[in-house]
């Protein structure tokens, strides 16, 4: 058990805190495994009615740990990252996210599977998969165009540049923008409101809202995962990861 993910349950709310701030809350295989296990426990535990996912006031998550991408790339649907993604996508109870600072890659795409998202005005979302020689994951190739509209999705996914909290509010990725120091507290307030409601109604309402494309999301995730897994091992991604580690600009001119 790592302390890089903190889990706390109180008054029907389980809070998962990304706690690897010195590495900008980048997520390792062990952290995905812990989050996947925590979600599975929360789904089956009658004492848990709502889950909150939060980071630090200065950073939500820098996405997948790049060292892991290089040395321990995920292999197949049973890997911790896919267990986490399938777990969050199919999670039956409400999930509230609190996001401040950078939310890179899966730091943004996991939010597509949360029900309420609150952001600090310092939040910077990005899905720079192309810049890393990769392709979208977490069904973001389906859900971002649906949510943002195609052209704004293309800007986010093809250019991979960060967009700030107000832009995320405009496209519907976040519910409300707050001062960073208020975000975690506000997410808890909203989670407690949800936890006071009848759980059967929450679960059935979420199921009905999601059922139209639950199967498609799972299928898209599997297809993205196959491409992502292959591309992780290809020269463009190796160049991008090597450049990040060596703190230089990647050179894709021959790729």
Enumerate binding residues for ligand COA (CB under 6 A): 23-24, 26, 62-67, 102, 104-105, 128, 132
Q: Which residues of 156-176 are buried (b: 16+ CB within 10 A; e: fewer)?
A: bbeebebbebebbbebebbbe
Q: How far is the CB of 132 from ligand COA (least distance, A)?
A: 6
Rounded to a whole number of angstroms, the minimum distance from the CB of residue 39 to ligand COA is 20
Supply the minimum distance, in Å, between the C-beta of residue 12 and ligand COA: 33
Nearer to ligand COA, 2 or 45 (CB): 2
Q: How far apart are CA 146 and CA 39, in angstroms?
A: 26
Closer CB to ligand COA, 14 or 26, in the complex: 26
CB of 204 to ligand COA, least distance (A): 34
Smallest gap from residue 209 Cβ to ligand COA (A): 28
Q: How far is CA 117 from CA 70, 108, 211, 254, in A?
A: 31, 11, 20, 40
The encoded tokens of residue 119 equal 């952001």
Closer CB to ligand COA, residue 12 or residue 133?
Answer: 133
Nearer to ligand COA, 26 or 79 (CB): 26
Edge-first strand listing for the sheet containing 176-178 = 5-10, 13-18, 50-54, 95-99, 116-120, 176-178
Distance, in Å, from the CA atom of 41 to the CA atom of 129, rounded to the nearest integer, reads 31
Q: How far is the CB of 181 from ligand COA (least distance, A)?
A: 19
Phi, psi of 102 (to 5 degrees): -65, 140
The smaller minimum CB distance to ligand COA, of residues 60 and 186, is found at: 60
Q: For 212, which DSSP code?
A: G
Assign 99 to helix, strand or coil.
strand
Closest CB to ligand COA among 48 and 135? 135
């Amino acid at each position: 058990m790592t302390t890089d993910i903190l889990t706390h349950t109180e008054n029907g709310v389980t809070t998962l805190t990304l706690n690897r701030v010195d590495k900008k809350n980048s997520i390792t295989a062990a952290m995905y495994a812990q989050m996947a296990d925590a979600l599975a426990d929360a789904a089956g535990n009658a004492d848990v009615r709502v889950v909150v996912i939060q980071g630090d006031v200065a950073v939500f998550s820098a996405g997948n740990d790049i060292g892991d991408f290089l040395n321990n790339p995920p292999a197949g649907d049973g890997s911790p990252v896919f267990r986490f993604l399938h777990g969050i996508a199919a999670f039956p109870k409400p999930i509230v996210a609190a996001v401040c600072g950078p939310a890179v890659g899966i730091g943004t795409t996991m939010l597509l599977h949360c029900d309420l998202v609150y952001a600090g005005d310092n939040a910077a979302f990005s899905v720079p998969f192309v810049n890393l020689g990769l392709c979208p994951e977490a069904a973001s190739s389906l859900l971002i165009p649906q949510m943002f509209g195609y052209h704004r999705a293309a800007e986010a996914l093809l250019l991979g540049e960060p967009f700030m909290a107000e832009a995320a509010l405009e496209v519907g990725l976040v519910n409300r923008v707050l001062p960073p120091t208020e975000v975690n507290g506000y997410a808890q307030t909203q989670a407690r409101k949800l936890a006071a409601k009848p759980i059967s109604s929450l679960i059935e309402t979420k199921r009905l809202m999601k059922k139209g494309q639950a199967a498609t999301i799972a299928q898209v995730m599997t297809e993205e995962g196959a491409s992502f897994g292959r591309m992780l091992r290809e020269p463009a991604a190796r160049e991008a990861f090597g450049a990040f580690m060596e703190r230089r600009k990647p050179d894709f001119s021959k790729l």
